[in-house]
Every structure is written in structure tokens, then in C-alpha cells.
Structure 1
Amino acid sequence: MHVHRLKFSSSAVLSCVVLLVAACSDGADSPGTTTGGTASTTSAGSTSGSGTAAGGGSPGSSGSSATSGGAANAGGGGTAGGGTGGAGGAGSGGMGGASDGAGGTAGNGGDAGGSAGEGGGPAFQPCPASGSCKIMPFGDSITQGFNVAGGYRAPLFHLALEANRDITFVGSANDYSVPMVDGVTFPRNHEGHGGWTIEGNNGIAQLVGTSIPNYKPNIITLMIGTNDINGNINLADAPNRLGKLLDSIFMRDPNILVVLAQIVPTRTDATNNAVKAYNAAMPDLVSTRVSKGQHIVLVDMYTAFTNDPNYKQSLFADNLHPNQAGYNRMADVWFQALSPYLR
């Protein structure tokens, strides 16, 4: 199966990844300031080396600083007369303490500096040095892939293949899946369960005690709460239930990485008011657990959808569930958060 990708502005996704400390913003719909996880990659890179003049040439410029853990720009070269190009700036490690990336090589006379320095990555590495990184998609029917086989999981797997990152999905369920993605066998397993809530008889909290020890995921992608809100189930206590779910996960595996998503909107404005209130409680849940040394980052799926003014028609198949374009957008947000940790 070929996964068809929807083209849209990358800024709508990049601004919604909580590895960046700044919150997503869409004016009045902003669900609140987001907070960083265990290894933010927003540290600036240091600059390195100006080009030297030779034979009357002017110096090359220094490499510019790296941001968000990305590569620094190469230094500019000397002008006519043979100045050696400046080396690229060395990317500084992200918050959490990774080593700095190396500076780029110098260019030849009259040319710009050579390769850019590499940005630092997160210090915490949940994935194994070799073999597939095991990701457990954890949630309700949106994780399951209701309406669209594979849900966000198939386009997320496509993005990992495209970036040459080795991942697999784990969990007790394997429905709403596809056989192949880009000619590669799709890992069908997940823990997405249609109609389920945070707690209760059909609550995903009951799966933590078996799914984590049985499948030993390195990373959990967690999005849950839509059915609590749609069913009007003690909404004031929903953030507390989510906090207990997180604590249960970390109690069973303190070395796991949880990527928690603020839930997507619905087509109903009245319901969205409750969605925004629930989402607004998540940054505090995350920062409390970060302060305990737990490995958790937050992503804003809500604003990734509402950044499209026509999202109710363009990104949804019904009142609650995304269509293929919506699942593609979710996959992009997940991958932006996951990619610093994948190998």
C-alpha cells in the first residue's frame, strides 16, 4: 500500500511540537502554554572560526548559531584574493546535556565555508542502539484508525521509512491496519480501542499492567480523553485521571518515553470548549512529571487541526474521527516529536 500524503504548511506542525518550549498559538483557540520534556532541543549552537585572509582577501564570516538542535549554517567564504571560508557553527546539545556537534570544515579560497556543524541531540535515548525502536500507540478509536485503516500509524510508519528510522509498533490489538506501507510489511499492532476512556470498565488504564510488561515498548504515543469528553464523564476530574494513568505507566517502566498529545478538536463547538479545558490542564501534568525526572513530552494536536480554518470539513470524516488528511497531519506532529529520539 502506498500512503498518500497531504501537503500543507510545515509551520503548522513545527509550532505544535512541545520539544519547542513555545506554545502553539491560534489566537483565542490556544489551549495554553506548553512545556518541555526531558530533552528539549532548543539550545542555540555556538559559532566557530572566521575565515582567514590570504593574498589580500577579506576574512570569511563565522558560522551562524544552530537552533532547535539543527545544523548550524556554514560560514561565509573570503572574497577575491583567496580568503579561506569560515567553518560552520557547532550545534550545541539540547537541554538535557548531549555533547555539542562538530563544526563544519573550512571552504576553499573565495568560497563559502564547507559543511555545517551538526546540532546536538537529546541526552535521553529510549531506543536501543540496534534493532527496531518499539512504539506503542495508546488510546481510543482515533489511535485504532476508525474510518481509515492504519489511522495515523500508517503515515507515521511511512515518515519513519522515509527518514531511514527503524521503528515497529507493539500492542495487543491489530485491527484497522494495512498490510504494507511503501512495499514494507506494516507492523499492525497497537493499543487503540474504540469507545474507550481513560479509566473504568472500558478504560485504557486497565491495560497498563499487562501491555507494558508484555510488549516492553520503548516509547508510548498517548492520546486519550475524547470519549470522556464526548460522554460528559466527570469532566472536571479528567485531568486527574490522566495524571494517574501517566503515573501508572512510569511506575511500571521509569525508562519509557511518553509522548502525550493534547487531543484533537471535534466538529461541535460546545464540545470543543470542554476539549480546550482538558488540553489546558496537560502542561502542568507534564511539568510535574518532568520535575520528577520522568521522560515525557507534550504535543499539541488540537492546534495542528485548528490552524486550518476549514478543519471541520477538510480534516474530519465525522464529528470525532479524522479522515486520511487528518491522520496524515497527526502523523507529521507525532514524527516531529519522535524524530530526535529515533535511530
Structure 2
Amino acid sequence: MLQLMPLGDSITDGYNVPGGYRVNLFQKLAARGPGIDFVGSLSNGPAQLQDRDHEGRSGWRIDELAAQVNGWLDTYQPKTVLLMIGTNDILQNRDPANAPARLGALLDQMSTRRPDTQILVASLPPLADTAQNVWVERLNAALPALVETRADQGRKITFVNAGAALTTGDLADGVHPNAGGYSKLADAWYGALTGTPGALTP
């Protein structure tokens, strides 16, 4: 059984659309065969989502996730983590200029804690507010190099350009995806999982 942890904020939780991307992603993974176990201390989603566990913390920023993630990694020992975080740093105007540095530090923290865990880290979906979206674009632009630097050190970290799959037309409220947007995120995660060596190996 492969323990897979969806980790992030309300987009991982599935705000507006219960279960969010996790619904379609689990169905895609289940169609490949048994053996995937979503893990986390939270659980929610619709009836068609058979495995509802996750660690999507609505409203949380990078620093808040960093303060708690060691415990979750120790408890659930995920083989693979799907990480999407940073939107609330921008929405709350919490030093967005240094969000890439905080995210890099979080990746270091997680990969040091669990060196054998595959961390797939996603770019963020756009925000409808153009001023806020400038910070989204800056964070997304910084992510590939953040990941590459660490991958070159032998850390099991992979960049997933999930945010690029969405436009503001895929947002329900200017922030969170609508059903179509979550479906696109599920496709992006699935492509990354199946395309990253070892990401689906128990």
C-alpha cells in the first residue's frame, strides 16, 4: 500500500467543491489498480470519494504548515506528498516577496525529515485580483529553480506546473477552483504521479 498525502490549504481541502481535486485523482489512481492510501488527519469529501483523508488546512500559510508538518510526516509516513501551498501568504499579504524562500525552507525541512519521501510541489492557480496575481506569478516563476537546486542535491523533490493548467475562468470565487478547475488539477497531479519515477511505488 502506498501512503499518499495531499498537503496544502483550502484548495487541497476542496473549498467550494467537496473533496476538490482529490475526487477525480483518487478515481484515476483507483482505475490503475488497488494500493493507494490517501493519508492525513483530516477527512472530508463526497460519497464517490472512497478515501477522504488529507492534510488540506483552509486558510493556512507556508509558515503554519511548516510548524505542524513534522508531526504529520512522522505519524503517517507518506511515501509521496502532493504539496500546494502559498496562496494564503499572498491573500493575507504576509510578506509575499519572501514566500519562495519560505517554501524552499519547507521543502528542505520535509525532505530532511523524510529523505525517502517523494515530494511533488505544485505551482499555484491564478488569482482573479491582478495585484495579488503578480505575487502568484513571482512565486510560480521561482519554483522550478527552487526544486532543481534541491533535486540536484539528491533530494526527492519534483516540480509540478499544476497552476498553469488553470485560468481565472476556472475559479469559482476568484480564488478557489470550480469543478472544472479541480478536474484540471487532478489531471496535473495524476500526470506528475505517473511520470515521476518512484512516486507510485510503495
TM over 0.5: yes
The equivalences for 1:72-221 within 5 A come to: 132-164=1-33, 166-175=35-44, 177-181=45-49, 186-199=50-63, 203-221=64-82
Q: Structure 1: which amino acid aligns with 2:59?
A: G
Structure 1 alignment gaps of length 5 or more: 1-131, 307-311
CA contact (8 A) 1:140 1:224 kept: yes
Partner Cα separation in structure 2 for residue 165 and residue 236 of structure 1: 42
Deviation for aligned residue 1:164: 2.4
Residue aligning to 2:150: 289
Structure 1 residue 280 corresponds to structure 2 residue 144: no
CA distance in 1, matches of 2:57, 2:162: 19
Aligned-partner SS, 1:281:
helix
What's 1:125 paired with?
Answer: none
Q: Is the 8 A contact 2:97 2:135 kept in 1?
A: no
**1:165–1:342 Cα contact (<8 Å) kept:** no
Deviates more, 1:275-284 or 1:156-165: 156-165
> Equivalent residue for 1:97?
none
Q: State the Cα RMSD in Å.
A: 1.3
Deviations 1:97-139 (A, max 9, x none): xxxxxxxxxxxxxxxxxxxxxxxxxxxxxxxxxxx21110110
Partner Cα distance (1:263, 1:270) in 2: 15
State the alpha-carbon separation in 2 of the partners of residues 270 and 302 from structure 1.
17
8 Å Cα contact 2:115/2:155 also seen in 1: yes
Q: Which has the larger radius of gyration?
A: 1
Contact 1:304 1:329 in 2 (8 A): yes
Q: CA deviation at 1:292?
A: 1.1
Q: For 1:162 and 1:173, how far apart are their aligned partners in 2?
A: 24
| Alpha-carbon contact 1:223-1:260 (below 8 Å) kept | yes
The equivalent residue for 2:176 is: 321
Larger relative contact order (Cα-Cα within 8 Å, sequence gap ≥ 6): 2
Aligned mates of 2:96, 2:175 — CA distance in 1: 17
Query: How far apart, CA to CA, are the structure 1 residues paired with 2:143 and 2:34?
Result: 29
| 1:30 equivalent in structure 2 | none
Q: Percent identity?
A: 42
The SS at the match of 2:144 is helix
| Corresponding residue of 2:192 | 337
SS at match of 1:318: coil
Partner AA of 2:27 in structure 1:
H
Matches of residues 243-282 of structure 1 in structure 2 within 5 Å? 243-282=104-143
- How many angstroms apart in 2 are the aligned matches of 1:280 and 1:198? 17
Q: Which has the higher helix share?
A: 2
Letter paired with 1:298: F
| Deviation per residue, 1:23-79 (Å, 9 max, x gap) | xxxxxxxxxxxxxxxxxxxxxxxxxxxxxxxxxxxxxxxxxxxxxxxxxxxxxxxxx
In the TM superposition, residue 244 of structure 1 has moved relative to its aligned partner by 1.0
- Unaligned regions of 5+ residues in structure 2, if any? none
Inter-partner Cα distance in structure 2 for 1:248 and 1:165: 31
